[in-house]
Amino acid sequence: MTRTPPPGMRADAIAYYEKVLIGARSAFADLGLDAELKDISERAGVGMGTIYRHFGNKDGVIAHVIQEAREDINNSVAAAKEADVPPLDRLRNCLTLSLDSVERYGWVIEALLGRRLPRDIQAEIENDRTLGEAVLSILEELVADGTLRKDLDLPLAALLIQSVVLAWIFDRSREEHDAAEAVDRILDIFLNGARA
């Protein structure tokens, strides 16, 4: 859960610790979860024993790198939540951030969707409703302030908005779209509907 090395670590130990993470990020990004510890240690410029010393085993490395990603994403979501930005803009921000995250952490999402993560990590992430609840609470605000209709099935609406992220990952045509522009159009459909 922390992006800083465990406290009380000697300076040179920290350096190795960071090297491992750099190698792991690189290897997982390029090769997905199939990356071997050999790949990681080579990219890290570090012996395999060092990985074990700092992270216990492969799952430990995976857990750490994935937690980094989650924190990064959740921090963005939190940032999007605060401030006195109008709720509609925060909704737009949430979506944009999600699409950005996909760009940066595609392999995490693929691993998650493929249920390939170590059991506990998989479960923890599946139970993490941070983004879902952020979206939901924005939608509630929007209902409260009269922007959205009162009979809206909010959980389903939140699901609909989040689902765009998943599709984004795999759609072949996403190269052609600009993420920010796509978000605008999606919100337009969401808000005003497709009906003539």
Partner DNA sequence: AATGAATGAGCGTTCATTCAT
Partner DNA sequence: AATGAATGAACGCTCATTCAT
Q: Does 111 bind a second copy (CB under 8 A)?
A: yes
Give the C-alpha separation, 62 to 25, whole Å. 9
CB of 23 to DNA, least distance (A): 10
Q: Does 120 bind a second copy (CB under 8 A)?
A: no
Report 50-109 residues binding DNA (CB under 7 A).
50, 52-54, 57-59
Q: Which does 57 bind (CB under 5 to 8 A by kind): a second copy, DNA, none?
A: DNA
Give the C-alpha separation, 30 to 107, whole Å. 8
Give the C-alpha separation, 98 to 104, whole Å. 10
Q: Which does 28 bind (CB under 5 to 8 A by kind): DNA, a second copy, none?
A: none
Q: Which does 3 bind (CB under 5 to 8 A by kind): DNA, a second copy, none?
A: none
Report 24-63 residues binding a second copy (CB under 8 A).
32
Q: Does 15 bind a second copy (CB under 8 A)?
A: no
CB of 15 to DNA, least distance (A): 7
The residue among 49, 76, 60, 78 whose CA lies nearest residue 24 is 60
Q: Which does 146 bind (CB under 5 to 8 A by kind): a second copy, DNA, none?
A: a second copy
The residue among 56, 157, 69 whose CA lies nearest residue 110 is 69
39's CB contacts (< 8 A; 6+ apart) are 23, 27, 31
- Burial label for 41, CB within 10 Å (0-12, 13-18, 19+), is buried
Q: Does 48 bind DNA (CB under 7 A)?
A: yes
Instruction: Provide the token pair at 101.
Output: 């995250």
Assess contact for 107 and 32: CB atoms under 8 A.
yes
The only residue of 30, 47, 114, 123 in contact with a second copy, by rule CB under 8 A: 114
Q: Does 179 bind a second copy (CB under 8 A)?
A: no
Q: Does 134 bind a second copy (CB under 8 A)?
A: no
